[in-house]
Structure 1
């Protein structure tokens, strides 16, 4: 009986969140172990189904750096990075697009469809959904930064009950262009801003933002973040993710969450429980 009462308490705890999030757009950056581990992939799909059935409008943006590096290595092409950003050469760009759009994107879309979600895989090239220009003056080749977002296709898909699954490949304003490889965190942020999304959630391989003693910050605002950056607490690969979070909340997104994708059902735990499991970023 105690177990049944506990289950009822959990359901009641989630009710205010279900009510608040219904019909809202939530952008999810899907990456790390959650994208690789078969069990975590299964749990992620079930979390998306639950969100979908509760009336939330999820949009999924995925990366694929490990898969790209493996394919380039198999083909005898070297992976080069500058300050953590991949250099996307003219030779490697078609391979990058093939892995992201033709492999990962369609596999994920099919997997979600199998579990009961009407998922549609696209990239920025579809309907001109987002365009880009060279990042850092061309030092990174065809790695780019988004310059324009057109939400027409995304809005149409959401209105008709589809879940967009987005590969981070952008089109160009130039004809016959190879396109651009974009950081998936940046794509999630720019899509969220353009759609005035309710939330953005980054699935990572860390608990969230940690202090000097590796203790989790449950909530951070911009003022606190700037102090942590100045004190050297937030460094390395977390910096661009945090900067994307700040850009989101400064441009209409209510909250951004950085959560541990290695935890089973991490999305549901963060969205529908009072305690949550990660770090939420607010103004």
Structure 2
């Protein structure tokens, strides 16, 4: 009898959770949600399986998820195996022709197809593509200028085949979504002269979200989100808040380019960008379908 009561309590809890998700499902019905998938969530098999199930659930519930994935650790392992030594300039990896071949092989091959397989094993339909397919991601060579403090001379730093998005052709993505499938995108871009470029996954996801006029862009990371000076999560930030928090040292290090990139995406028309911890099981569902969320949402004031 006690066992039956416990079972009914569990069922009642499940029913309550599903019921509480209703207003959020209505908010996001038929909306595009772009998810940048990377970090530990991609490497841990249990988290990867949960991620695939969560993406399928979003699709079944009437949302239109689009996955853009990274793959830095996997690329590094393959470069080590092939004894390709990385070169860095100004903290960024230089992608020469040999490295670019490895990057494309790993991102567009093993990783992309593994994510597609996981989604399909979870009962969904997925189509894996790279930014080169259908000219999805037109990229331009990334260069940076540096001024020598001693001479005042300005130099241009060449990072090889590293690119940044110049244009996103969304037709192929709309075709995939209309066929009731989930696009899974490897961030490999194509230049105007046909050359191949390695594109940062966060940057690629932001460009895709902007071009698709997505409702949300979710950036899965290995941190909880933006933290205050007491290391507590800041759940809501506006674009207007960011310069002050950077200036006073609340936002530091690698989080600065991440929030600046998020702000640019918001200014381009995406309603909200969420930086969240992909190590938390079901973080995507918790962020989208519960009242509290689990990350930091960056949006325009009043949004």
| TM-score normalised by length of structure 2 | 0.89
**Equivalent of 1:218 in 232, 235, 238:** 235
Match of 1:201 in 2: 218
Structure 1 residues 39-54: aligned runs within 5 Å: 39-54=46-61
Find out whether 1:122 has 2:129 as its counterpart.
Answer: yes
State the 1:2 CA deviation. 4.6
Give the SS at the match of 1:147.
Answer: strand
Structure 1 residues 1-283: aligned runs within 5 Å: 2-137=9-144, 139-175=158-194, 177=195, 179-283=196-300
Q: Could you tell me whether the CA contact under 8 Å between 1:84 and 1:237 is conserved in 2?
A: no
State the 1:83 CA deviation. 4.3
Question: Which stretch shows the higher mean deviation, 91-100 or 133-142?
Answer: 133-142
- Supply the distance in 2 between the matched residues of 1:262 and 1:84 (Cα, whole angstroms): 26
Residues 1:4 and 1:112: Cα distance change in structure 2 (over 3 Å): closer
Matched positions, count: 281
State the 1:49 CA deviation. 1.2
- Supply the distance in 2 between the matched residues of 1:128 and 1:194 (Cα, whole angstroms): 14
Task: Give per-residue Cα distances to partners, 1:180-226, cap 9 Å, x unaligned.
Answer: 00000000000010110110001111111101111100100011111
- Supply the distance in 1 between the matched residues of 2:249 and 2:159 (Cα, whole angstroms): 26
State the 1:7 CA deviation. 2.9
Unpaired runs of 5+ residues, structure 1, are none
- Supply the distance in 1 between the matched residues of 2:168 and 2:29 (Cα, whole angstroms): 25
Higher strand share: 2
- Supply the distance in 1 between the matched residues of 2:244 and 2:16 (Cα, whole angstroms): 38
- Supply the distance in 1 between the matched residues of 2:74 and 2:253 (Cα, whole angstroms): 22
- Supply the distance in 1 between the matched residues of 2:34 and 2:90 (Cα, whole angstroms): 26
Give the SS at the match of 2:160.
Answer: coil
Residues 1:7 and 1:84: Cα distance change in structure 2 (over 3 Å): farther
Question: Which stretch shows the higher mean deviation, 250-259 or 228-237?
Answer: 228-237
State the 1:157 CA deviation. 0.9
Give the SS at the match of 2:269.
Answer: coil
Q: Could you tell me whether the CA contact under 8 Å between 1:269 and 1:276 is conserved in 2?
A: yes
- Supply the distance in 2 between the matched residues of 1:207 and 1:165 (Cα, whole angstroms): 24
State the 1:84 CA deviation. 4.2
- Supply the distance in 2 between the matched residues of 1:2 and 1:55 (Cα, whole angstroms): 28
State the 1:3 CA deviation. 4.1
Question: Which stretch shows the higher mean deviation, 84-93 or 36-45?
Answer: 84-93
RMSD over aligned Cα atoms: 1.3
Unpaired runs of 5+ residues, structure 2, are 1-7, 145-156
Task: Give per-residue Cα distances to partners, 1:133-179, cap 9 Å, x unaligned.
Answer: 1112562111111111111111111111111100010001104x2x1
Quick check: which has more Rg, 1 or 2?
Answer: 2
Question: Which stretch shows the higher mean deviation, 242-251 or 32-41?
Answer: 242-251
Give the SS at the match of 2:185.
Answer: strand
